[in-house]
Structure 1
Amino acid sequence: MLTVSVVVPAWNEEERIADCILNATTQSVAPLEVLVVDNKSTDRTAQIVSDFIDAHPDTPVKLLHQDKEQGLIPTRNYGLDRAKGQVLGRVDADCMLRPNWVEVVGNLFDRDPQAMGATGPVAYYDMPAKELGLKGDNKVRKSVYRADDGRYLLFGSNMALRASAWKAIRGEVCRDKADIMHEDVDISLHLIDHDFKTVYCRNMNAGISARRMDTSFPSFRRYMQRFKNTFDAHPQHTREQKPERTLYAIYPVLRAFYPVYQKYLESADINPAERVWIKEQMELFHQREQEMC
């Protein structure tokens, strides 16, 4: 199996970063490294990661600092440039990887030498009905997140690149100093420019927060506009389906329900990120316990 690095850009993520790196290291196959790239956080993000490393010295978590420039893209690039794995995972700091994520990703690229980028569905851990949501997200991403002749677009919260592919496109990816594009879609289109294969794997699962839906409609609309802006910056690429149409359709319901459900979680003292893969984590724990007997 190929080695996998997990890169986590982080800015003011003290609420979820510990859960994120715990999930990234609680895996059926250990990642080569988990690189948390702090981007001038003003909260306790860096301290929490440092404390985690001190408390778990055997885990491959490393804390990097990208202090030269504020922004996701330079922070993402900083981490990917320094990752040593044959495959480079890139997830958000509120992302919870399923306990077999590293194994699935490493095997996927190992079995398919032509695969240069991969992505999969996500479950929204701070909303109810995880399994139903995962199935729905799988259906939408598999059918709608495509460009040109059906090439899959990668999703930044749950994506991986072959290291050689990143090196090939590193000098070409858009800098987007105006911050108006989807950086994951931009990466996808640069991969397609090289005729690199991108694949979709329904077993490559991660949990993410639905907090994007807890924004005002003008803010949400600006976020959705990023799809068009990204394709406008790449006029040689086309798309038949527009994911933003689906997201616009579900926004009113999720916008109304999200804060209500958060109050329930708070009143019940539930950490949804902690329990999103609890069943799978327990299965992994029992498996390892039996192997030790």
Structure 2
Amino acid sequence: MLTVSIVIPAWNEEDRIGDCLVNATRQSQAPLEVLVVDNKSTDRTAAIVQDFIDRNPDQHVELLHQDKDQGLIPSRNYGLDRAKGDILGRIDADCMLRPNWVEVVSRTFTEDPDAMGATGPVAYYDMPGKNIGLKGDDTIRKAIYRADDGQYLLYGSNMALRATAWKAIRNEVCRDKADILHEDVDVSLHLIDQGFKTVYCKDMNAGISARRMDTSFTSFRHYMQRFKNTFDAHPQHTREQKPEHTLYALYPILRAFYPVYQKYLESADINPAERVWISEQMELFHRHEQEMDQED
């Protein structure tokens, strides 16, 4: 099977980076490495990562520091450039990977040698109805998250690409110093420019936070404008559907409900990131126990 590196750019993520690392390392197939790229955090992000490394020396987690430039893109590039896997996974510091994520990613690229990039559906772990949300996101993402002749766009919270593909586009991806583009869509379009195939895998699942919806409408609108900005920066590419229209429709509901549900989670002393894949993690644990019993 192909080896998988996981790259996690991080800036002031002390609330979630610990849970993110637990989920990234508690996998049915171990990642080759997990690289956390700290980008001049001013909180305890780096300390939490180092503590995780000290307590779990066999998990192949490494803390990198990208202090030259502030921003997601230079931090992402720094991590991807240093990753050693055949496949480079890229997630956010508040993402919670399903326990078979590495296995699914490795299998996806192994079974389809033409695949150069892959992505899958996500669910909001800090909102109710994970399974319903996952199915809904799967339906929407398959239908409208595409460009040109139907090529899938990668989603930054849940994406992977071949190391060879990254090397081919490394010097072509936009630097976006004005910070107005969707960097994951930009990567997708540069892959397409090279004639590379991107694929969608419904079993490649991750949990993400709905915190993006807990912002002012002005801030949310500026974030949605990044879709148009990115395609304007790549006029040779087209799209039939606009994902931002769906997100605009969801915004009022999630914006109203998100803070209410967070109060419930706090009052009930529930860590949603810890419990999002708990049933799958328990199944994995019992499977490992059975395998060990059989070996004995």
TM-score scaled to structure 2, two decimals? 0.99
In structure 2, distance between residues paired with 1:194 and 1:82: 22
Partner amino acid for 1:140? Answer: I
What RMSD over aligned residues (CA atoms) do the two structures have, in Å? 0.3
Aligned partner of 1:224 in structure 2 is 224
Q: Are 1:114 and 2:110 counterparts?
A: no
Partner amino acid for 2:25? Answer: T
TM-score scaled to structure 1, two decimals? 1.00
Q: Residue 42 of structure 1: CA displacement?
A: 0.1
Partner amino acid for 2:191? Answer: L
Q: Are 1:250 and 2:241 counterparts?
A: no
Q: Are 1:199 and 2:199 counterparts?
A: yes
Aligned partner of 2:238 in structure 1 is 238
Secondary structure of 1:7's partner?
Answer: strand
Aligned partner of 2:289 in structure 1 is 289
In structure 2, distance between residues paired with 1:52 and 1:135: 33
In structure 2, distance between residues paired with 1:15 and 1:255: 20
In structure 2, distance between residues paired with 1:162 and 1:69: 25
Secondary structure of 2:63's partner?
Answer: strand
Q: Are 1:35 and 2:35 counterparts?
A: yes
Measured against aligned partners, the alpha-carbon deviations of 1:72-96 in whole angstroms (never above 9, x if no partner) come to 0000000000000000000000000
Counting only pairs closer than 5 Å after superposition, residues 254-273 of structure 1 correspond to structure 2 as 254-273=254-273
In structure 1, distance between residues paired with 2:111 and 2:150: 21
Q: Residue 188 of structure 1: CA displacement?
A: 0.2
Measured against aligned partners, the alpha-carbon deviations of 1:13-70 in whole angstroms (never above 9, x if no partner) come to 0000000011000000000000000000000000000000001111110000000010
Aligned partner of 1:74 in structure 2 is 74
Percent identity, aligned pairs only? Answer: 82
In structure 2, distance between residues paired with 1:286 and 1:274: 18
In structure 1, distance between residues paired with 2:144 and 2:263: 32
Gaps of 5+ in 2: none
Task: Return structure 1 stretches of 4+ with deviation > 3 angstroms.
Answer: none
Q: Are 1:132 and 2:132 counterparts?
A: yes
Counting only pairs closer than 5 Å after superposition, residues 84-233 of structure 1 correspond to structure 2 as 84-233=84-233
Secondary structure of 1:172's partner?
Answer: coil
Measured against aligned partners, the alpha-carbon deviations of 1:226-257 in whole angstroms (never above 9, x if no partner) come to 00000000000000000000000010000000
Secondary structure of 1:198's partner?
Answer: strand
